[in-house]
A and B are shown apart, each in its own frame.
Chain A
Amino acid sequence: MYYVADVKETDCAKYNCKQCVLFCPEPNTLMYHDSKHVAWVNYSRCKGCAICVYVCSDLLKRNCIEMVMMTAGE
């Protein structure tokens, strides 16, 4: 079981923002989809620090990212 960030795509697509991507400490983990204009998470690389949740929910009040439990292979 891993604790990882998950982006709610429909909510995220409403905003043309990538602040969470700019503040993730891990490289090539929280990525930005150019055409869909949403952030997406490379689950196998996410360490579950939740800085992106702080940026999205506490700073920007947009609540588009949540932390979820995930089993390997999902």
Chain B
Amino acid sequence: MGLEYVRISPGFEKYMPKDYVDLVQYGQFGRDIDVQQLGQFKELVEEHPMCAGCFMAYFIRVFYAALPKPEDTIVLGTAGCARLALSQAAVPFIYGNYGDTNAVASGLKRALSIRFPDKEKDVVVIAGDGGLIDIGFGMTMHSWFRREKFTTIMVDNEVYGNTGGQESGMSPKGVQLKMAPKGKQFEKINAVELAKTAGCVYVAKLSPTNPKRIAKTVKRAILAARHFGPTFIHAYTSCNIEYSIPTEKVLEDARKREKQDFGFYEWMTDEVKEFFEEMERKPEEVKA
């Protein structure tokens, strides 16, 4: 972790894999990248085995491009689709047991703040609806109750996609899935309100239809977590396999759901709001 560990020792460039050399020379490390520059620099994520047209893979791609300091970040994940791409990125990744991501992240964040008291190290949890709100529910909630300073991102595909399509707490009411043939009997859990009640200082809900907005939300969640407390993003990342969405219609589906129940929503405490206003005002003052 840290910029000095990323750089290649002089003389070793020709022995390193080309992808790694590209990553150091044309990548994000030590540079301030705008998400609009995607496609013009070497991205942190490499080829991964996620399905064609997977919008969770898309969200993860934009997430990595949005990291404010990738060289000082640790990402945690758990069993589920997201880990397939998360583990292929040039950012340290910790694979927790199912459901314990937020407990591991709590300890990690505390240890990092003791080991590096003068540096800002970001810890981000990205897990699915099963990992965070079903099986990991207790640990997720308790990390928020304890006001642990890290970001939790839920990539919500509304199903257990890896294991054949069982319903999750986040599946919408009435939906029929391969392993839920009678249709889901209960309402979708309102994770955003839970996060607000449990003590998160910044909460957002989005459908990935606008890369600039995803990047801004991710940046804000990470910065707010550095200084104030737990933050939470609820992202709709459809499962085109289990929900039988043709790959070319995945973006159309995300746009449709944005109009229905995944409209962009952002909530933050007053002190966080003040912090962002102050931060966004600063460049103008410098220019003046």
Q: B-contacting residues of A (Cβ < 8 Å)?
A: 18, 21-28, 30-32, 34, 39, 45, 47-51, 53-55, 58
Contact = CB atoms under 8 A, between A and B. Distances in A.
20 contacts: A22-B36, A22-B38, A23-B58, A25-B53, A25-B55, A25-B57, A25-B250, A27-B45, A27-B47, A27-B61, A45-B47, A47-B51, A47-B52, A48-B247, A49-B53, A49-B250, A50-B53, A50-B247, A50-B248, A51-B53
B247 A49 contact: yes
B46 A27 contact: yes
Kindly name the residue among A23, A45, A55 whose own CB sees the greatest number of chain B CB atoms within 10 A: A23
B248 A54 contact: yes
Contacts of A24: 39, 58, 61
Contacts of A31: 39-40
A28 B61 CA distance: 10
Contacts of A47: 51-53
A32 B251 CA distance: 20
A51 B252 CA distance: 9
A21 B55 contact: no
Contact of A51 (B42, B211, B250): B250
Interface residues of B, number: 29
Contacts of A54: 248-249, 251-252
Contacts of B54: 25
Contacts of B47: 26-28, 45
Nearest to A46: B52
A18 B53 CA distance: 18
Given A22-B211, A28-B43, A53 B57 contact: no
A34 B50 CA distance: 28
